[in-house]
Structure 1
Amino acid sequence: MPEAGAGTGTDTGVRTGFGVPGLAHPLLAPAEWNALTRPGAGGPLHWVVLNVANGPGVRPDPHCLEAAGRLRNAGVRVLGHLDSAYGLSGSGELISKAHRFIDWYQVDGFLLDRCPADRAALPEVRRTVGALRVIRDDAHIVLGHGTHPYPGHAEIADQLVTFSGPWSDYRWSQVAEWTADHPPERFCHFVHGVPGPHLEEALRIARWQGAATVYLTDRTARDGRTDPWEPLPGYWDDLVSRIGMGVSE
């Protein structure tokens, strides 16, 4: 496969849409959550992650119930956020949280964030995903590796996050050759710190690398104290219009 920076905008057949990895709590970011369900403003949303309090919280949250309900009524998948902590979170703890997500918020699936990516972790990840599918057999499962994992992980879940990081790394990144054996719908890229003038370049890299689900934002992680995914990007409407007009097709 070519380097990510290669490509001239030629149609690759990739139909790009958004995966929103972790907006702030609806009480803290009401405008952001409202923007996702504003008629004609949400764009092609593949899914939105709900993270109440590092998971589902200890009791149903009315603000999250309302936000999740509005998205699901609009036909948008809502995924519960489960933090694997690179394998340090036990499977039992994750499954307990998944049950609460299903019971309280009727989520459509899960983002297994900080998922371990090596070959040795494969059996445990497979067991965890299998248990999640017992809870809901049609659950949409996204493994949030943030990097290219051992190829066997692709056989376990619906989607893999194969890049999560800053624009300074993304613009020079390379795609793993084994990803060419799978359709673009299987891969997600999350990129923060993308300057507005580089939006089209970032979309072109995602197409060239074969990732159909993206999240691009101008927000940055400042000294590890700010989560760049919590607010919507400042150019959200522009980004939506680019994909809505077929720029990324």
Structure 2
Amino acid sequence: MMLLPLYVHPLADPGAWDALCRGGDRPTAIVNVHNGPGAGRDEVYTVATARLHRSGVRMLGYVDLDYGNRANGEVWCDIVGWSQYPVGGIFFDQVPADAAGLRYVTQVVRAVRGSVVLNPGTRCLPGYAALADVVCTFEGPWESYVDAPPAYGLPDGRDWPNAAHLVYGVPAEQLGTATALLLSRAPHGLVTDLRAPLPYEGLPSSLRARAAVR
């Protein structure tokens, strides 16, 4: 599964949203209205997400856990807030990875109806993998990913069966190589040529190109 953080406003880059509707690939788009669902319904996002839904694009709503520092009530309000949009689950960002945070994450995921994706962005305790459909165990630039040791704790060198890797800053001419490397390590994730500090404000050039020829 391709996870696609789509953190660009539909009016700021309508071409990115249009391309997802036209493209043959169907990534799971992570929608982020205002560091979450925002305080109230955003009509622009209402229209844009409804269009993606009609086009068959699966979506997850973004919720920030601030590495376990947000109050449960705040997190639950965000989860409920996403019920205003046609999302099929929640993408929890800035997830803790240690034993101290495991109980906290166990509590907040219980409020989710639908799919759960956790993003600690690094290797975490196995207990986290049991709480989610997908766990992002790597998030970082291509330079770090290509030099990372291939062993993730399993005998064949691959990551957990529900792991995902998010790799940004890939040179456009190496997107194919990066995709092959990711798939040799984990079953889910993203490679994009967009760079930090805003690697998710738009689509990878490969997705735009495939949508343009349809």
Q: TM-score, normalised to structure 1's length?
A: 0.78
Which residue of the partner structure matches residue 105 of structure 1? Answer: 85
1:169 to 119, 130, 144: 144
Q: Which runs of 5+ in 1 are unaligned?
A: 1-16, 242-249
Question: Matches of 2:36 and 2:58 in 1, distance apart?
Answer: 17
Indicate conservation of the 8 Å contact 1:23/1:232, yes or no: no
Structure 1 equivalent of residue 175 of structure 2:
199
Which structure has more RCO (C-alpha within 8 Å, separation ≥ 6)?
Answer: 1
- 1:19 corresponds in structure 2 to 3
Using a 3 Å threshold, how does the CA distance of structure 1 residues 181 and 19 change in structure 2: closer, same or farther?
closer
Deviation of 1:238 after TM superposition, in Å, equals: 5.1
Unaligned 5+ residue runs, structure 2? none
Structure 1 residue 212: Cα displacement: 2.2
Is 1:48 the counterpart of 2:22? The answer is: no
Matched AA of 1:43: D
Q: In structure 2, do the counterparts of structure 1 residues 215 and 153 end up closer, same or farther at CA, with 3 Å as the change threshold?
A: same
Paired residues in the alignment total 209
Does residue 129 (structure 1) correspond to residue 137 (structure 2)? The answer is no
Mapping of residues 57-96 of structure 1, within 5 Å: 57-96=38-77
AA aligned opposite 2:40: R
Q: Structure 1 residues 237, 27: CA separation in 2 closer, same or farther (over 3 Å shift)?
A: closer
| 1:157 pairs with 2:139 | no
1:28: which partner in 2? Answer: 12
Q: Which amino acid aligns with 2:146?
A: R
Q: Give the TM-score taking structure 2 as reference length.
A: 0.90
CA displacement 1:65-90 (0-9 Å, x = unmatched) = 11111122222221110001111111
How far off is 1:182 after superposition?
4.3
| Aligned-residue CA RMSD (Å) | 2.0
- Residue 154 to residue 240, structure 1, CA distance change in 2 (3 Å): farther
Contact 1:23 1:29 in 2 (8 A): no
Contact 2:175/2:192, CA 8 A, preserved across alignment? no
Contact in 2 for aligned 1:35/1:42 (Cα 8 Å): no
- Separation in 2, partners of 1:131, 1:93: 12
